[in-house]
C-alpha cells in the first residue's frame, strides 16, 4: 500500500504503478474512467470534511452552518488559512468550496493564505503551530493527536460531504496490473462483509467511515 493524495494516486495509476486506486475525488475518478485508465468506479464509503480553526477563532466563524459564509469571513478578515496545496481530494474539495463561495482563491489570496504542498497531518500541524484555519477530513482529525489549540469550527454543511471510490487500473493499458487480486480486493470492499467491517471500524469510539457501496449515485 502507498498512501498518497488522490491526485498523486491517480497519477500513479495512470503510469501503471498501482493495481488499484482508492481515492476521494469523484470528478477526477470519473475522468480516470472516461480516459480508459479504469473500466469501472465503485463507490465504497463516505465521511465528511470539517473546518478546523484556532480556539481563539480570529475570523469569528464558530458555529456558522454555511461553509461559504465562513470562508468569506476568513478572507475578509485575512485570518490565516493553510491549504494542503497537493492536488489531494481534500485540496480539490477546498478549492471547490472557495469557488462555491464566489472566491477565486488563486487570484484573490494574500499573505494570509499558505499553500504548503504537503499531506493532511502536516497541514494540521502547521495550523496548530501558526493558529491557522484548515480543511480536514473528519477521519484524519479524529486520528490527529496534536489538537491543542485547535477545534472544529464549521461542520454539517452538505457541501462538506466526502465520498470515497475505488477502481482497478485497466490491465489492457497496463499488462503488469494484478487484475485478479485487485478485483478481489475491490469485491471485498463492496461486499456485505467489507461494508460491515468499514462501518464497525472505530477510533476512540468514533465511526470514521460510513459504507454506501449500494448507493448507485454515490
Q: What confidence tens digit (pLDDT) does each residue in 37-93 have? A: 999 999 999 999 999 999 999 999 998 999 999 999 999 999 999 999 999 999 999
| Residue 174 scores a pLDDT above 90 | yes
Cβ distance 10 to 23 under 8 Å? yes
Nearest to 67 by CA among 89, 109, 100: 100
Least confident among 123-132, 144-153, 208-217: 144-153
Q: What is the mean pLDDT of residues 90-104?
A: 97
| Residue 146 scores a pLDDT above 90 | no
pTM of the complete model? 0.92
Binned at pLDDT 50, 70 and 90, residue 32 comes out as very high
Binned at pLDDT 50, 70 and 90, residue 195 comes out as very high
Nearest to 183 by CA among 43, 42, 8: 42
**Cα distance between residue 113 and residue 3, in whole Å:** 26
Question: Cβ atoms within 10 A of the Cβ of 203, count?
Answer: 10
**Cα distance between residue 146 and residue 196, in whole Å:** 30
Give me the percent of the chain exceeding a pLDDT of 90.
Answer: 96
Cβ distance 93 to 101 under 8 Å? no
Q: What is the mean pLDDT of residues 179-192?
A: 98
Q: How much is the pLDDT for 11?
A: 97
Between 113 and 148, where is the model more confident?
113
β-partners of residue 167 are 21, 41
* 196 grid coordinates: 460491515
Amino acid at each position: 500500500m502507498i498512501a498518497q493524495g488522490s491526485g498523486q494516486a491517480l497519477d500513479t495509476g495512470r503510469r501503471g504503478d498501482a493495481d488499484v486506486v482508492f481515492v476521494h475525488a469523484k470528478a477526477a475518478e470519473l475522468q480516470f474512467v472516461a480516459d480508459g485508465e479504469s473500466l469501472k468506479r465503485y463507490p465504497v464509503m463516505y465521511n465528511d470534511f470539517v473546518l478546523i480553526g484556532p480556539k481563539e477563532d480570529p475570523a469569528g466563524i464558530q458555529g456558522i452552518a454555511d461553509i461559504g459564509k465562513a470562508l468569506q469571513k476568513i478572507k475578509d478578515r485575512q485570518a490565516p488559512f493553510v491549504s494542503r496545496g497537493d492536488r489531494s481530494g481534500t485540496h480539490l474539495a477546498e478549492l471547490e468550496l472557495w469557488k462555491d463561495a464566489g472566491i477565486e482563491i488563486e487570484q484573490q489570496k494574500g499573505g494570509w493564505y499558505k499553500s504548503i504542498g504537503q499531506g493532511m497531518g502536516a497541514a494540521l500541524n502547521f495550523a496548530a503551530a501558526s493558529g491557522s484555519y484548515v480543511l480536514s477530513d473528519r477521519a484524519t482529525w479524529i486520528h490527529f493527536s496534536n489538537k491543542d489549540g485547535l477545534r472544529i469550527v464549521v461542520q454539517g454543511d452538505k457541501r462538506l460531504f466526502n465520498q470515497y471510490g475505488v477502481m482497478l487500473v485497466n490491465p489492457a493499458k497496463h499488462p503488469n496490473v494484478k487484475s485478479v487480486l485487485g478485483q478481489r480486493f475491490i469485491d471485498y470492499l463492496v461486499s456485505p462483509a467489507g461494508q460491515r467491517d468499514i462501518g464497525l471500524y472505530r477510533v476512540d469510539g468514533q465511526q470514521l467511515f460510513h459504507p454506501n457501496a449500494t448507493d448507485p449515485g454515490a
